[in-house]
């Protein structure tokens, strides 16, 4: 299996806090890789480094052989990296369909003048975007919500729409920031099937941050446990969950 994403010796400090500390890991094409860790371990910061919201203080990040540190956040999306956010970021006063069309933004090859004149090229492109989005709507069973405003939708549905918006961009790597947070047991189970299908049917590589160990063990090939910004353990979900250092850090020594 080939390596898709590589983080090498990345360090990021916020004032005196070392949020990510000399961290090295890599994600293989086609796998589901999870990052777990207690609050403040540095998980979101790792995502923000990959998305290029933050610059590392030291280290290297490459995606499919491209140096990500040479690129800004938009250019990273253009390479095929899409993400969801811990606090869902959708346009509340737009429909599900409109939000998913926003996910197609990186594929737009027409300019404003062409769009205003609605040229044949624009029409063809529009059709292509619609088809891609309709596929995602079908895939995630979002038909009943297609023309509904985001603001009126239950939290669990909004979470699926956010996943859909990221998928609509046609990514090679999907970054999921706590996909199960705030979901019921049934919704978490559904999320597990979506993630499984995204990998198996769409062939998309998934890197996720997640607290729900049931979801992590159910869906991940490999898990990285972080503590204080550094790697505590890495391996299969079973290996990581039974690692004494992980048990100590996450559950307290008494829980072993």
Radius of gyration for the chain, computed over Cα atoms and rounded to the nearest angstrom = 19
Least spacing, CB of residue 44 vs ligand ATP, in Å: 3
42 binds ligand ATP (CB under 6 A): yes
Q: Which is nearer to ligand ATP, 80 or 179 (CB)?
A: 179
Supply 100's token pair: 């998913």
Least spacing, CB of residue 20 vs ligand ATP, in Å: 7
Nearest to 234 by CA among 31, 11, 4: 31
Least spacing, CB of residue 226 vs ligand ATP, in Å: 7
Residues 1-40 that bind ligand ATP (CB under 6 A): 14, 17, 19, 37, 39-40
Residues near ligand ATP (CB under 6 A), total: 11
- Coil vs helix vs strand at 151: helix
Q: What is the DSSP string of the chain?
A: --EEEEEEEEEEEETTEEEEEEEEEEEETT-EEEEE-STTSSHHHHHHHHTTSS--SEEEEEETTEEGGGS-HHHHHHHTEEE--SS----TTSBHHHHHHHTTGGG----HHHHHHT-HHHHHHHHHHHHHHHHHHHHTT-GGGTTSBGGGS-HHHHHHHHHHHHHHT--SEEEEESTTTT--HHHHHHHHHHHHHHHHTT--EEEEE-S-HHHHHHH-SEEEEEETTEEEEEESHHHHHT-HHHIIIII-GGG-
Q: Which is nearer to ligand ATP, 19 or 97 (CB)?
A: 19
Residues 44-83 that bind ligand ATP (CB under 6 A): 44-45
Least spacing, CB of residue 32 vs ligand ATP, in Å: 19
Least spacing, CB of residue 11 vs ligand ATP, in Å: 12
Least spacing, CB of residue 39 vs ligand ATP, in Å: 3
179 binds ligand ATP (CB under 6 A): no
Least spacing, CB of residue 177 vs ligand ATP, in Å: 8
Q: Which is nearer to ligand ATP, 43 or 192 (CB)?
A: 43
Residues 105-124 that bind ligand ATP (CB under 6 A): none
41 binds ligand ATP (CB under 6 A): yes
Q: Which is nearer to ligand ATP, 37 or 103 (CB)?
A: 37
Q: Would you tell me which residues interact with ligand ATP (CB under 6 A)?
A: 14, 17, 19, 37, 39-45
């Amino acid at each position: 299996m080939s390596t898709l994403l590589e983080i090498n010796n990345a360090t990021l400090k916020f004032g005196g806090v070392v949020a990510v500390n000399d961290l090295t890991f890599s994600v293989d094409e086609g796998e589901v890789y999870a990052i777990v860790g207690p609050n403040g371990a540095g998980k979101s910061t790792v995502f923000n480094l990959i998305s290029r919201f933050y610059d590392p203080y030291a280290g290297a990040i490459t995606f499919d052989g491209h140096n990500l540190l040479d690129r800004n956040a938009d250019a990273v999306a253009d390479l095929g990296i899409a993400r969801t956010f811990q606090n869902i970021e959708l346009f509340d006063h737009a429909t599900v369909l409109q939000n998913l069309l926003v996910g197609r933004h990186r594929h737009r090859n027409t300019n404003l003048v062409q769009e205003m004149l609605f040229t044949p090229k624009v029409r063809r492109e529009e059709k292509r975007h619609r088809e891609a989005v309709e596929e995602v709507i079908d895939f995630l069973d979002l038909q009943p919500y297609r023309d509904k405003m985001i603001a009126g939708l239950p939290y669990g549905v909004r979470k699926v729409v956010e996943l859909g918006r990221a998928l609509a961009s046609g990514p090679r790597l999907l970054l999921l920031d706590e996909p199960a947070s705030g979901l019921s047991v049934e919704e978490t189970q559904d999320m597990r099937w979506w993630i499984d299908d995204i990998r198996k049917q769409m062939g998309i590589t998934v890197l996720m941050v997640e607290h729900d160990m049931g979801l992590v063990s159910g869906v991940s090939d490999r898990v990285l446990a972080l503590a204080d910004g550094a790697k505590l353990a890495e391996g299969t979900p079973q290996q990581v969950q039974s690692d004494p250092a992980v048990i100590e850090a996450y559950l307290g020594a008494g829980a072993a």
